[in-house]
Every structure is written in C-alpha cells, then in structure tokens.
Amino acid sequence: MLGRLLLSPPACRDIGRVRARWGGRTVLVTGASAGIGREVAWLLGLAGARVLLLARSKAELQQVAHQIRAHGGEAEVLVADLSKPDQVEAAINDIKANHARLDAVVSNAGRSIRRSAFKAAEKRDLERSLAVNFTGPAALLLGLLPLCRPGTVLVNVSTVSARPPAGPRWGAYQGSKAGFDVWFQALGAEIQVSGVRCASVYLPLTRTRMSAPTYHPSTPALSAREAAESVVYALVRPVTRVAPWWLGWQELAALAFPGLFRRLFGLVARWDKYGEKT
C-alpha cells in the first residue's frame, strides 16, 4: 500500500463507475495481448464495454477475448504489428468497415529497450523504437480520427521516462516515447474543439513481461493491474494528464538543475550495476 502511494498516479478501482461510463461503448486497446493492455481490456470488458483488442499475437489476443466473453463481455480480435505500415492500414480499414464510431482508443502498445548508444546502432534500436512507440501509433490514431465523435477519449499510455530528465542507455526508448508524447499533446490541442479529449498517462516502473529483463525483482514497481487502474482513471475522469504526484517536481528539478543531473547520470552510466561499464 505504501509503495503504491509513493509510486502510483491516481487510479479508478470502482467497476460500477467504469460500467456507468463505458458500458455498451466501443473501445480500442492496443497492446492488448499482455501486461497493462491486457488488464485494461479485461477491466473494460468486465464493465460491459465492447473491446477491440489489437496486438501482434493472435493466440494471446484470443485468450484475452475468451476471458472477456466468458464473463459476459464483448471482444473483437485485431492482429497487427504497429511497426508495419501495411498492417496498420489494414487494421484501420478493418475497424472502419465494422464500426461507425469509436468511443475511446487506448494507445498502449510499445517497445522498451535499454542499451548503450554505442551498441544501439547495430541493433537498429532507434528505428524499431520509433516505429512501435511513435510512427505506428500516430498513424493508427490519424487513420481512426474519422470515427471519433464528441465525447470520444484518446488515451496515451506513456511513461514517466518520457518527461525530463533523460537518462543514459534509454535514448531509443525515451526519445521515441517523448516524441509521441509531444505529438499526442499537439493532437489534443487541435482536436479538442471537436469534443475529443486526449489524456496522457505517465506510469512509473510497472512489472510486466516487457520490463522483466531490465530491473531486479526487488525494485519497487506497480503491478500491471495497478497500472491499468490508472489508465481507466483517465477514461472515467475529465482529465488530460494522469501522473504520480512527484513527476511535476522531477520535471521542475531537471529544468532548474540540468548540470547536476548531467553529472549524476554520468556516474550512473559509468557504474551502472545492470549495464556495461563504459
């Protein structure tokens, strides 16, 4: 409980409130096959939403859909890799062909990679991270804008790492997530006149399959369900930003003391316990 209080953004655990807002409505969740996306889809399905599940793994998506349907919910499976433009376009066309309106889109799919910049180029980390974390999700949202109506909510499931300061060995991940974060905020400023709300959710470390190789098991972290409850909060409350209480102070400190953070991260890069010594 103390860990959640210190780490977590606001959350909604009232399934009745979620049902009152989203029961019978159509919500697209990307990255819905595992982790946070799976938990968001489950909570929405349990609340009576019609959930469109999008991810790369058909087998895993079918498992999520089966779980939702077994509890009386509605779920539809859409298989697409957001790093592949042709698959993004196919998913957009499929959704448009079967749905006249989207009440919400939860942009959750992402790729986390932690590697030294000296090794990142040979692994094409930046190219892949930009495709999954920025250009793919952006193309999907742009293609689906014609289905958005007044009252539609677009949610970007982001990370506290997308905000200052920038840390060592996270360049591809932080750069791509921060780029999409700024683009998403610009989109929100433009489409708010149409009655469409954009909300960014900045999550701290969350224990998922994606983060498992990077952090020690004892590192304080949210569970996927706890993170999903913060995403749902953005859907049921009229907010544009959901973040831990300390994130604003972190951003201010990074702007006020850039030299201090540069020196600190220089030490981290040199003596990082879980990375290479440079």
Written as six digits, the tokens of 103 are 């009440």
CA 186 to centroid of chain Cα atoms: 17
Chain-centre distance for alpha carbon 244: 15
- Name the nearest CA neighbour of 50 among 33, 68, 38: 68
d(CA 145, CA 231): 21
- Find the angle CA(68)-CA(70)-CA(75) to the nearest 5 degrees: 35
Question: Is 274 labeled as catalytic in the residue annotation?
Answer: no
Residue in the structure block whose two tokens are 């029961």? 23
Residue 38, CA distances (Å) to 1, 41, 228, 238, 272 in order: 23, 5, 9, 23, 32
Give the separation between CA 50 and CA 238, rounded to whole angstroms.
21
Give me the DSSP letters along 135-173: IHHHHHHHHHGGGEEEEEEEEEEEEGGGSSPP-TT-HHH
Residue 189's contacts (CB-CB under 8 Å, 6 or more residues apart) are none
Residues annotated as catalytic are 173
